[in-house]
């Protein structure tokens, strides 16, 4: 995550340079600037695209269908490709805006901070009782913007694991586990904070998939399918959110109700 558009990100952006240039209260202003970036990124990350799109486009709440989870996988299972694409765009956009704001205002470290807090906001959104997604897409978007080379390596690993196992969750876990190693190999010299941040992101993603790990070992995890229409068992959701505490089946929102014939 050392590069933005192929060029090294300066240690401090516009706001950071201005704060450091002041002789009085420079440290205080710098800390305030970092706090501003973190809060702004967290609030952006807390915007849940799945809930917003399901209500605006489909006039329904995604949390009432499928697994009840407001995530990309459940949007695809309930509303199909249309819902998934819009959700994908929304989750990517909020991370792009967060990282760019952090980079412009506070430079390299601001980009790190904004990307991390956007991911935290996605996982623990303040607007939705701190119940969100698993942060894979926001983490992937952050890495793509700041270091496309490392993203390419992780994406290849993700795709290979998915191809052979068809487990989206396992593919995400392996990619997250590989991320710190990729950073340590690619960055010479390696800054301690870069390795720490990569470890943090990787551990958060793996931790958010702990229920999936349990289901994989018990052969209960659902496999990714390229079929256009989800099957009932897939709708039950085996991979979406750690916050799903019940196994209640909710019918897909696109399922038409059958009218009873009058005798």
Report DSSP state, residue 133. Answer: -
129-132, Cβ contacts within 8 angstroms, sequence gap of 24 or more = 131/70, 131/241, 131/243, 132/46, 132/48, 132/70, 132/241
Using DSSP's 3-state secondary structure scheme, residue 197 falls into helix
Residue 66 forms beta bridges with which residues?
250
Q: What is the pTM of this model?
A: 0.76
What string of pLDDT tens digits covers the 263 residues of the chain? 555 544 555 555 555 565 555 555 667 777 888 899 999 999 999 998 888 998 888 888 887 887 666 777 778 878 888 888 999 999 999 999 999 999 888 888 889 899 999 999 999 999 988 888 888 889 999 999 988 999 999 999 999 999 999 888 899 999 999 999 999 998 887 788 888 999 999 999 999 888 888 888 888 887 776 654 444 334 333 334 334 444 444 445 555 444 445 44
User: In sequence order, which residues have a C-beta less than 8 Å from that of residue 73 and are 6 or more positions away?
Assistant: 168, 237, 239, 240
246: left (phi over 0), alpha (psi -120 to 50) or beta: beta
Domain ranges within the chain, ordered by starting residue: 3-235
- What pLDDT, on a 0 to 100 scale, did the predictor assign at position 240? 42
What pLDDT score does 250 carry?
A: 45
Q: What is the pLDDT of residues 3-46, one digit of tens each?
A: 554 455 555 555 556 555 555 566 777 788 889 999 999 999 99
95 in Cβ contact with 120 (< 8 Å): no
Contacts of 76 (CB under 8 A, 6+ apart): 83, 84, 230
């Amino acid at each position: 995550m050392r590069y933005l558009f192929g060029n090294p990100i300066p240690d401090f952006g516009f706001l950071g340079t201005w704060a450091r240039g002041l002789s009085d209260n420079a440290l205080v202003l710098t800390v305030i600037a970092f706090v501003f970036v973190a809060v702004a990124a967290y609030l952006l990350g807390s915007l849940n695209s799945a809930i917003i799109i399901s209500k605006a486009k489909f006039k329904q709440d995604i949390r009432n269908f499928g697994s009840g989870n407001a995530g990309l996988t459940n949007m695809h299972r309930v509303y199909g490709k249309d819902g998934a694409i819009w959700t994908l765009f929304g989750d990517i956009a909020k991370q792009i805006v967060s990282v760019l704001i952090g980079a412009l205002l506070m430079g390299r470290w601001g980009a790190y901070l904004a990307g991390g807090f956007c991911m935290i906001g996605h996982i623990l959104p303040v607007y939705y009782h701190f119940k969100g997604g698993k942060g894979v897409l926001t983490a992937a978007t952050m890495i793509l913007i700041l270091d496309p080379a490392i993203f390419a390596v992780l994406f290849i690993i993700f795709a290979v694991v998915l191809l052979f196992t068809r487990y989206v969750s396992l593919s995400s876990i392996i990619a997250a586990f590989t991320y710190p190693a990729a950073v340590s190999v690619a960055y010479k010299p390696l800054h301690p904070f870069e390795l720490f941040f990569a470890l943090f992101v990787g551990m958060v993603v793996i931790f958010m998939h702990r229920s999936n790990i349990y289901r994989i070992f018990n052969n209960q995890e659902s496999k990714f399918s390229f079929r256009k229409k989800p099957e009932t068992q897939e709708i039950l959701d085996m991979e979406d959110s750690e916050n799903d505490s019940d196994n209640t089946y909710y019918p897909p929102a696109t399922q038409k109700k059958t009218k009873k014939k009058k005798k």
